[in-house]
Structure 1
Amino acid sequence: MTALTDAQAHLAKAREFLEAAEVELAGGLCTASTSSSVLAGINAKDVICLSSTGRTGKSDDHKSAAVELAASGPAGRALETTFRRLIALKTRSQYTAGPMSATDAQKAFAWATRMVQAAADALAS
Structure 2
Amino acid sequence: MTARTDANARLEDARAFLESAKTIDTLNDAESYADVIATNAIHAGIAASDAFCLLTLGRHSKSENHADAVSVLKAAEGDGTTLSRLLGEKTKAGYNVKSLTRPKATKCIEWASKLLDAAEEKYAQS
State the shift of 1:96 in Å. 1.1
State the shift of 1:95 in Å. 1.0
Count of residues in Structure 1 that have an aligned counterpart in Structure 2: 121
Gaps of 5+ in 2: none
Residues 65-98 of structure 1: per-residue CA shift (max 9 Å, x gap): 101100113xx1xx11111111100000111111
Gaps of 5+ in 1: none
Residues 36-64 of structure 1: per-residue CA shift (max 9 Å, x gap): 01000000110110000111121111111
Question: Are 1:91 and 2:85 counterparts?
Answer: no
The alignment-based identity, stated in percent, is: 36
Match of 1:104 in 2: 104
Residues 5-34 of structure 1: per-residue CA shift (max 9 Å, x gap): 100000000000000010121213211000
Q: Following the alignment from structure 1 to structure 2, what is the Cα–Cα distance between the partners of residues 65 and 120? A: 19
4+ runs of 1 displaced by more than 6 Å?
none
Q: Following the alignment from structure 1 to structure 2, what is the Cα–Cα distance between the partners of residues 68 and 99? A: 29
Match of 1:71 in 2: 75
TM-score normalised by L of structure 2: 0.93
Residues 90-111 of structure 1: per-residue CA shift (max 9 Å, x gap): 0001111111101110100000
CA RMSD after TM alignment: 0.8
